[in-house]
Copies of this chain bind each other. A is one copy, B any other.
Amino acid sequence: MNEKQPGLRDRTRRAVQKEITDAANTLFVERGYEATTIDDIAAAVGMSQRSVFRYFATKEEIVVGKFDFVAEQMLDVLRGRPVDEPVWDSLRRVFDLLVPYVDAPGHHEVAEPMQRIVFDTPALFASYLQKLQLMQDGVVTALTERAETAGAPYASDDPAPRVITAAAFGCLVAAQYAWLAAGAKGSFAAAIDRAMSTVGPRD
């Protein structure tokens, strides 16, 4: 087995990371992202600036780092879907993973303002788009493998899997725009449904 128990060391590491993100997010919402300094965050958590950088490579990563984890989960979900399910439907299921991050019931005090901060701060928005691109890379790989498993592999130069994935993620971002513009009311899942019914693969 290549499985490994998290071990105490890893667990405390995650705990400290969460402490930092929580403190940072509070500050970001209070004072704004750019107005908050790494030293501010370090002081709030009670550690040195250098140590904060031992948990997060960049300031942006404090905000968007969680999406690395989401990207992994996406692969699990996608691989768990039936191989004969239409690709567009599988992708729709994959996006269910993001719903709790966006539509977070309960912590509307922090989650929603943070979302606006991401969309309004150029540096953060760029990082977010980049993470989405990373997710797409994983999805494209999984989709390619799945097609092979199903006995209908894509040609090596066929752009189809990437195009379909890109279109689906485009729907995702558009849905998020619409949802935020409408005041973050209503269900985010419904916004995705609506977006993904507007375009789709051709055959």
Contact = CB atoms under 8 A, between A and B. Distances in A.
Interface of A: 122, 125-127, 129-130, 133, 157, 159-160, 162-167, 169-171, 173-175, 177-178, 181-182, 191, 194-195, 197-202
A166 B170 contact: yes
Copy number in the complex reads: 2
Nearest to A169: B170
Given A129-B133, A174-B163, A199 B200 contact: yes
20 contacts: A125-B133, A126-B126, A126-B127, A126-B130, A129-B130, A157-B182, A159-B191, A159-B195, A164-B198, A165-B170, A166-B170, A166-B173, A167-B167, A167-B170, A167-B199, A170-B170, A197-B202, A198-B202, A199-B199, A199-B200
Contacts of A197: 202
B159 A177 contact: yes
A144 to B, nearest CB: 13
